[in-house]
Amino acid sequence: MNHKYLQKCVDYETRIKKLECMNENLCKALESHKQCPRFEITQLKIDHDYLFIYDHRIKNYHVPSSKNYYFLVTNDPIYTINHEERPPFFYSKVTSIRRARTTIKDNRFHLNPGTVFYLVERSQLSSTTITTY
C-alpha cells in the first residue's frame, strides 16, 4: 500500500476522533476524504473466510502488506452467522495475508458483495468512535 495515502487517511481520521464524531458522521467524513484507501468486496468464498478485494485507486486487486490493519466497514447489510442485524460500522482484524485475499479474524461476519470498507491502522481505532465486536 502506498504509505502516503495511508498516512493522509490516518491523519484525517485522528482529527475526526478529536471531534468525537458519532459513527454516522465519521462514515460521512471518510466517504468525503478521497485519498483514504477504499476497497470493495468483489467476491467471497463459500465459507466466508476470505475476502477478495479491489483497490479503486489503482483499479486492480490489492492485498495489504501488514497484519496491523483493520477493515472498517461503512455500509449495510452486515449480518452475523445467525443473521442478527448489526449496525453499519464494525472492524475486523487482519490476521494473515495471502495473494489476492486476506483472512479476517473469524467467520462471524457475512459480508455481501459490494460492501464498501476502508483499511485503517489498528492504533488509530477507538471504541469511543466506532462499534466493535
- Mean pLDDT confidence for 50-68: 44
Q: Which residues contact 120 (CB under 8 A, 6 or more apart)?
A: 9, 10, 13, 69, 70, 72, 91
pLDDT at res. 96 = 37
Q: What is the pLDDT of residues 73-115, one digit of tens each?
A: 443 333 333 334 433 334 444 433 333 334 444 333 444 445 5
Higher-pLDDT residue of 119 and 88 is 119
pLDDT at 28 over 50: yes
Residue type (1 letter), 45: K
What DSSP line would sit under 68-110, residue for residue?
SEEEEE-SS-EEETT--B--S-EEEEEEEEETTEEEES-S-EE
Entry pTM: 0.27
Residues of the chain with pLDDT > 90, as a percent, come to 0
pLDDT at 52 over 50: no
Which H or E run includes 46? none
Domain ranges, ordered by start, for the chain: 1-36, 39-122
Query: Contact at 8 Å (CB) between 12 and 29?
Result: yes
pLDDT at 21 over 50: no
